Structure 1
Amino acid sequence: MASSILSEPVCPMSPVQKRIHEAAIRLFAEKNIGEVNVRELAQVAGVARGTIYNNLSSIESLFEDVATHLSGEMNRRVAKSADPEMDPAQRLANGIRFYLRRAHEEPYWGSFIARYAASNAALQEMWNGPPLEDVLSGLKSQRYSFRQEQLPSVISMIGGSVLSAILQVLAGHRTWRDAGSDTAELILIALGVAPEAARAFATKELPALPDAD
């Protein structure tokens, strides 16, 4: 759940580990896990193959490490972005748009998320972070009007909508601003927010996304 990810200690990576992770995101975004090898990873990371062997046990374990890191890192950054007293609908709208803006600014990150988030358990935890907290908060305060038993479907709707919008942005079909605002607006309306209020929440100026640490 959200609390477990957000409370996990952040283990800082060394500069070499960061380079390996960044190279892995790029390669995994373009290829299947089984198609990535140590030689190519070392080349993209700009390190010797021995350095790769010294920093990971297998390509498969590296993939899981990268997925877990991306999920926890994004959750922490989104959680830090909003005042706890902010309207949960505004927090949710901002969170949705943070994903779209980051996918635009970091295409490999966006491609990795879009490619694996529907099937990887670690990446699915992204939706159990701030999105889940904001949905529960909005339901408790009666900002939203869905039934409690519909919560899993609500979270699936949010995750699926964000991933579809990311694909539109990456393909160049829409800008991150338009895709993000429309996605946030339509999700809020689906949750019971009045259309005029949903539009206002979805188009309010988006703040900077804080660092994870």
Structure 2
Amino acid sequence: IVNVWIRRYFWSNSNNSFWINVKGLGDDEILTAQEDVGGDEPSDWYQDSDSEYWYKWRDGHDDDNGLWRWEKYATVTLSGSSQQLTLANREPYSFVDQILITDNLTATPSGIVSPLQSPPETRICDKVLPIHYEQYVDNPSYFSGVDAIGPGGACMKKVEIKSTTANYNVGTSYQRSYADEIQNFANWFTYYRRRHQAMRGGLTAALDGLSGIRTGMFWFNDLS
């Protein structure tokens, strides 16, 4: 049994909620702080298409909007040695910078908690979260298995094209030979490496194959 504390910042009373999920657990194993004082409503729990339970953490917050504050989310009965906690924004001006999970059920955190060791976060590339971009910029050592993260949160891997490597992306649906890969890079470099080139290339591809119409291009604004 552990307590889950969240250090959060709410811009206002109308921006003070998150979706929270502990993978594999539902409302039977999670006693939210709001429920503990008799305020939890059944409508605050939602089950997604994967049968995962998400809690709409929105009510019972202390009225100190505009300040960073530790707040207890729930007491959780864990079902194994490894559990995954996921937070998702429900409103745009709600922020989290630290989460504390502790088996000391009487402890109350304050200030910024400094862990004895910062373990690397294993990046799950099939779940793209834009917040991971900022996290990677601030603490790249917290992530493993990626070379970079794009602004949208997608994983990026460095690929070196060498004549000594016969095939790339082996075992995937987009496996390519060295000749295919070097040609792919040449196409990108020639036609798409700059934003205006990518725009022109996309426009040309959209019009390719059309017939019976007249098209033209003109400047919206020719000022630099």
**Same fold by TM-score greater than 0.5:** no
- Structure with the bigger percentage of strand: 2
Structure 2 length-normalised TM = 0.23
**TM-score, structure 1 normalization:** 0.24
Query: Which protein is richer in helix relative to its size?
Result: 1
Structure whose alpha-carbon radius of gyration is higher: 2
